[in-house]
Amino acid sequence: MFSLEHPWNSFLWYMKATVELAALPGVRLATFSNCCFGGQRTKWTTIMTNSQKLYDALHWPHCNHYSSNQGYQPYYDDEGNVVFPTEEEAEYPQGLVEAYAKAIKEELKEGGMLDTESSEARLSVIAAQLNKYHRMEDRELKQPWPSESWTLRKRWWKEMSARL
């Protein structure tokens, strides 16, 4: 089972290897907008997959949320900083994450590839790791790259990797 996600209007979908992969039996393109799954804005995405369950859960090409969503025009916040709304849509909406996870779980279960008991334990470990990641503050991600020497760069990377 596989999935490949990219913006709907990306050049990726026209590349020879992608077109050949899409032509294989059982491969489908699920197209949807983030607003269909709780996002604040229209952001069209396509996922290529060979999972029928994933396709059924995500393919929503006729979204009707256009009138209620927010735009992408940059604006100034109360402190005078420029805010780019595209940054607010960088993370998948919770509804999309849940639909994706549920579909994959059903597909694995149906194919006999999911041992529920051991999988639940593993999922709790993964959830704890993801929770740790989401608690990271932006300042940790925006630290400047040290330029003094290769040794400093390696040490910096090791320290940043340990935080993840």
Number of domains in the chain: 1
Give residue 93's domain range.
Answer: 3-115
What tokens does 75 get?
A: 């604006």
- Does any domain span residue 158? no
- Does any domain span residue 132? no
Name the residue with higher pLDDT: 155 or 84: 84
How confident is the model over 38-79, as pLDDT tens digits? 888 888 899 999 999 999 999 988 877 665 567 778 889 899
How confident is the model over 85-94, as pLDDT tens digits? 777 777 888 8
Beta strands in 69-155 (DSSP E): 75-76, 82-83
Please give the DSSP secondary-structure letter assigned to residue 122: H
Adjacency order of strands within the sheet including 28-33 = 3-7, 44-49, 28-33
| Cβ atoms within 10 Å of 11's Cβ, excluding its own | 9
pTM above 0.95, yes or no: no
Q: Which residues contact 21 (CB under 8 A, 6 or more apart)?
A: 4, 27, 48
- Does any domain span residue 126? no
- Does any domain span residue 34? yes
Q: Give residue 111's identity as a one-letter amino acid code.
A: G
- Does any domain span residue 62? yes
- Does any domain span residue 131? no
- Does any domain span residue 160? no
- Does any domain span residue 8? yes
